[in-house]
């Protein structure tokens, strides 16, 4: 049951009663390569994963399973954190078998459109561990701008890590998805 469709992915509401969804959410917390790039010290049981999904679903926004190639490849979400400023935050995790295929970028773009069009967001933020180059490329390809770095603001596995902060304003998003009028005008003059 698709909720939102991107170019490469379908996003469906992450369901705490769907074993496939719960397992994908758990794997993003339990697999060592995934835990190394996030702020997660310990893995989750299935019951804990269901509880976290229910908590995330209680916020204004969306948390979705990323489906591509007929299987769940991970999850992504957007949540509004400041009702007055209308600021939201995107999050995303793609399991190792689906990485490098553009699924996270497509999910982030699709959720950004949802946030701006349906949630009336004014801006979005993405927080990425600064040494996680693939994750940085996701938000950069989705037209987010690097706004700064919070030094040693993430502590995991006994080590402090820098966090890169990326932002996207509604006007930037709209400009990026609008057809280039200048090119259309140039074509008409030829």
Alpha carbon distance 28, 34 (integer Å): 6
Alpha carbon distance 24, 100 (integer Å): 17
CATH assignment of the domain containing 110: 3.40.630.30
pLDDT higher than 60, residue 189: no
- pLDDT per position as a tens digit, 81-92: 888 899 999 999
**Which uninterrupted H or E stretch holds 174?**
helix 170-177
Alpha carbon distance 31, 35 (integer Å): 6
pLDDT higher than 80, residue 186: no
pLDDT of amino acid 33: 64
Phi/psi for 6 (5° steps) reads -100, -165
Percent of the chain with pLDDT over 90: 71
Q: In total, how many domains does the chain have?
A: 1
Mean pLDDT of the chain: 89
- pLDDT per position as a tens digit, 57-83: 888 899 999 999 999 999 999 999 888
Are the C-beta atoms of 135 and 91 separated by less than 8 Å? Answer: no
**40: containing domain:** 4-189
- pLDDT per position as a tens digit, 118-172: 999 999 999 999 999 999 999 999 999 999 999 999 887 788 999 999 999 999 9
pLDDT of amino acid 86: 94
């Amino acid at each position: 049951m698709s909720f939102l469709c991107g170019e490469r992915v379908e996003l469906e509401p992450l369901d705490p009663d769907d074993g496939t969804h719960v397992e994908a959410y758990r794997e993003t917390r339990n697999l060592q390569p995934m835990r190394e790039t996030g702020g997660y010290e310990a893995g989750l049981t299935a019951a804990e994963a269901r509880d976290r999904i229910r908590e995330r679903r209680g916020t204004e926004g969306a948390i979705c399973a990323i489906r591509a190639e007929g299987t769940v490849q991970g999850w992504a979400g957007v949540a509004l954190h400041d009702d007055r400023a209308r600021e939201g935050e995107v999050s995303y995790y793609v399991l190792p078998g689906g990485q490098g295929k553009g699924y996270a970028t497509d999910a982030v773009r699709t959720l950004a459109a949802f946030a701006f069009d349906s949630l009336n967001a004014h801006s979005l933020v993405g927080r990425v561990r600064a040494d996680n180059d693939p994750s940085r490329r996701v938000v950069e390809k989705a037209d987010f701008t690097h706004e700064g770095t919070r030094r040693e603001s993430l502590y995991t596995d006994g080590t402090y890590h820098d966090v890169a902060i990326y932002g996207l304003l509604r006007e930037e998003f709209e400009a990026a998805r609008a057809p280039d009028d200048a090119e259309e005008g140039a074509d008409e003059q030829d």
